[in-house]
Structure 1
Amino acid sequence: MSLSEFKQKYIDFKLVLLLAGFYLMFDLVLLAKVMYMRNYMPQREYFSWSDFLIHNLLFDYIIVVSYMTLIAISTKRFLNKNYSWVKIISIHTLFSLLIGLIIRLIFDFYSIIAGRIDLADFDLRKSINAFIYVLDLNFLIYFAMIFIIYTYYYLKQVKEAEKRHSKLESQLVNTRMKMLSSQLQPHFLFNTLNSIAVLTDMDTKKAKDTIADLSDFLREILYNSDRNRISLDEELRILEYYLNIVNVRFSDHLTIEKKVPEDLMLKKIPAMLLQPVIENSIKHGYSYENTDLKILVSVYEEGKMLVIKVENDGTPVTESHTELMKKGVGLKNINDRLRNLYKDNYYFEIRNKEDNTGVETVIKIPE
């Protein structure tokens, strides 16, 4: 990982500024306290404002802000790795003790290097006493800043979740409306209604079933499936309306098989995921050389991922997956929804089969 990638992934400069601002407020309060004590509570020991401002406040400020920046980076890594709260609290308790020790060691080392104290005159006991004297204060300051860090990350995650949820809802509505738009194109309605008209004389029951399928399918697109994720069996039920209509149109030239184990039927998948994938498979599968098309929809588990595969024996694609994404609005919408639902934890690709006997669309999502 490069330095720029590390900064982008783990360092949030807004959070660093927030921590720096908080500790600046603490130092201002401390400064006001010292000013009051020097004026109204005279002390006998020697006191130098320059030493206090430069060697105490400024020196301490730089060390604490730098230390807490490292803690903020570590905290984000803890959150990404899903450590238990017991482990996280234990680690932060140790770090809260270390901050005072580190400040003391750096301050003593600086004082020796700068010649403020002689190495021979260095009193280890006095240094330890100074560390113990502010131990409780350092502990409280540390956890106050940790509270800021966790609150910041929590609010950021809430905002991102709300943004993703809003975007998903918008994408779901767009998906439904694009599906409706594509299905309501004149040639679709003409072919479907023409098939119904023919069936009216030949098979009245099938004509009525086709009308019912068309009605149910449009109703599902318009009014139902408002959830971003639905169970697999519900998705297949909605898909069946579409497949019934398609089968009427293509008659014996189209065969669609489903290979879905019963124990996976309650698994959650993005709503209205299969229909645009199958529609794309039908649209690009037929050609002058391929007038008959067979489509297989299969769902299975692969480790902790649920794999959804739609494959056909039609015309191979001549474009890459990236090029297909740019051309197909429906496919791009699927990819955007998957990214918002699962971030980078998903797989989506359209490719030719290894034996070049057709095309397969593979989607892998967390269970």
Structure 2
Amino acid sequence: MKIHLKKYLDVKLILLLTGFYALFNIVYVAKAAYMHHYFPRMPEFPWRDFLLYNILVDWVVVVTYMTLIAINTKKLLNKNYSWVKIISIHTLFSILIGLIIRMIFDIFGILAGHIDPSEYELQESFHRFVAVMELNFLIYFAMIFIIYTYYYLKQVKEAEKRHSLLETQLVNTRMKMLSSQLQPHFLFNTLNSISVLADLDAGKAKDTIADLSDFLREILYSSDENEISLGKELKTLEYYLNILNIRFSDHLKITKVIDEELLNKKVPALILQPIIENSIKHGYSYGHTDLEVHISVQQEGDHLQIKVENNGEPIRLSEVELQKKGVGLANIKDRLNNLYGSDFFFKIRNKENNVGVETIVCIPLK
């Protein structure tokens, strides 16, 4: 129950509604004082009873009711109902609040001795409700406007914050990948492979130089979009895989199964390379000198699933420890969280019977 309230109850919003209705009551009291002073023929009424009966009780009832409405409004926003349905629901609630206030005032009046139970008439009470029905309607929808404006502005600020975080994370991803690839061992091994190829196969050496150049260029100068098409992501990945095939020669076999109908779907930029690099880095060991890596991209319901598997060394670390050691893995999880909220799946785990490791990413289809 506490978790439920914490999720839907926004204290700042309730204070805003409380302040708005308090301001309305101040204006109402000022109007009553003005009318009483300048129109002495108006019937006398005791100010104490007026402030207690017409103002305080009304304020408590309305604020309590609008707190419940604010909670339910957030639920309505999460359910993505149509505007017709939302307006219909709030119209019904606006009528209901008038009936509730009228009923509470009648009960309070009877208990306080202002109304004689023997003389109480339900029809007369209903007439009083109808007399102020349009005012209740306007006050209710004024407060609903405040609620929706509050949540809209809050969502805009959160979206701007997420966008800023994503831009920072994308830059960090590029820098981490570039730093990783520019480490001496990577460049040395790649350049050494090119040097060997220059004597054996000049054409393949040129191709490897082109792949290295294109791969580094994609990391540095590609667009700052947080999501790109799967086809573009695979094109960048191909440069990296070509270099790996040259470096590891017959000791690395990479296979791919890609659903071509998904090539235009959006995926996070630069998500595949660090996953594959991690798979290769942790897959090789003294007992696993020949490594097979399989990449698959398939549709699973309304999600796109990326799976990278190897037949190498099982992981001994926890997922948290692995993400700290893995190149860019923690950054990937943070980006997925900012892009998709809770609507994603990211897992690194040993395969059945410890015959390798698989990394799985599931994201909504776009």
Please indicate the TM-score interval, normalised by the length of the shorter structure: over 0.9
Q: Which one of 201, 204, 208 corresponds to residue 202 of structure 2?
A: 204
Aligned counterpart, 1:253: 251
Is 1:24 equivalent to 2:22 in the alignment? yes
Is 1:64 equivalent to 2:62 in the alignment? yes
Separation of aligned partners in 2, 1:281 and 1:172 = 21
Separation of aligned partners in 1, 2:341 and 2:291 = 34
1:67 counterpart letter in structure 2? Y
- Maintained 8 Å contact 1:11/1:73: yes
Separation of aligned partners in 1, 2:151 and 2:70 = 10
1:21 counterpart letter in structure 2? G
Cα distance change, pair 44–230 in 1 and its aligned pair in 2 (3 A):
closer
- Maintained 8 Å contact 2:278/2:327: no
| CA displacement at 1:329 relative to structure 2 | 5.4
| CA displacement at 1:44 relative to structure 2 | 4.2
Q: Give the secondary structure class of the aligned counterpart of 2:107.
A: helix
How many aligned residue pairs are there? 365
- Deviation per residue, 1:14-45 (Å, 9 max, x gap): 00011111111111111110010010012443
- Maintained 8 Å contact 1:225/1:271: no
Is 1:112 equivalent to 2:110 in the alignment? yes
TM-score w.r.t. the length of structure 1 is 0.97
Separation of aligned partners in 1, 2:320 and 2:84 = 45
- Deviation per residue, 1:27-73 (Å, 9 max, x gap): 11111100100100124433010011111111100111111111111
> 5+ residue gaps in structure 1?
none
Aligned counterpart, 1:171: 169
Separation of aligned partners in 2, 1:38 and 1:26 = 18
Separation of aligned partners in 2, 1:25 and 1:44 = 25
Is 1:347 equivalent to 2:345 in the alignment? yes
- Maintained 8 Å contact 2:36/2:42: no
Aligned counterpart, 1:146: 144
Q: Give the secondary structure class of the aligned counterpart of 1:355.
A: helix
Aligned counterpart, 2:44: 46
- Maintained 8 Å contact 1:320/1:351: no
| CA displacement at 1:197 relative to structure 2 | 1.1
Aligned counterpart, 1:363: 361
1:334 counterpart letter in structure 2? I
- Maintained 8 Å contact 1:232/1:265: yes
Q: CA RMSD in A?
A: 1.1
Aligned counterpart, 2:183: 185
Aligned counterpart, 1:11: 9
- Maintained 8 Å contact 2:277/2:327: no
Separation of aligned partners in 2, 1:248 and 1:173 = 28
- Deviation per residue, 1:140-177 (Å, 9 max, x gap): 11111111100110010011011001100100000001
- Deviation per residue, 1:301-336 (Å, 9 max, x gap): 111111110000000111222332243351100000
Q: Which has the higher mean CA deviation after the structures are superposed, 338-347 or 319-328?
A: 319-328
Aligned counterpart, 2:296: 298
| CA displacement at 1:123 relative to structure 2 | 2.0
- Maintained 8 Å contact 1:231/1:265: yes
Q: Give the secondary structure class of the aligned counterpart of 1:256.
A: strand
Alignment of 1:265-276 (within 5 A): 265-276=263-274
> 5+ residue gaps in structure 2?
none
- Deviation per residue, 1:245-272 (Å, 9 max, x gap): 1111101100111100111111111000
Q: Which has the higher mean CA deviation after the structures are superposed, 18-27 or 327-336?
A: 327-336
TM-score w.r.t. the length of structure 2 is 0.98
1:318 counterpart letter in structure 2? R
Separation of aligned partners in 2, 1:299 and 1:253 = 24
- Maintained 8 Å contact 2:274/2:327: no
Separation of aligned partners in 2, 1:293 and 1:350 = 18
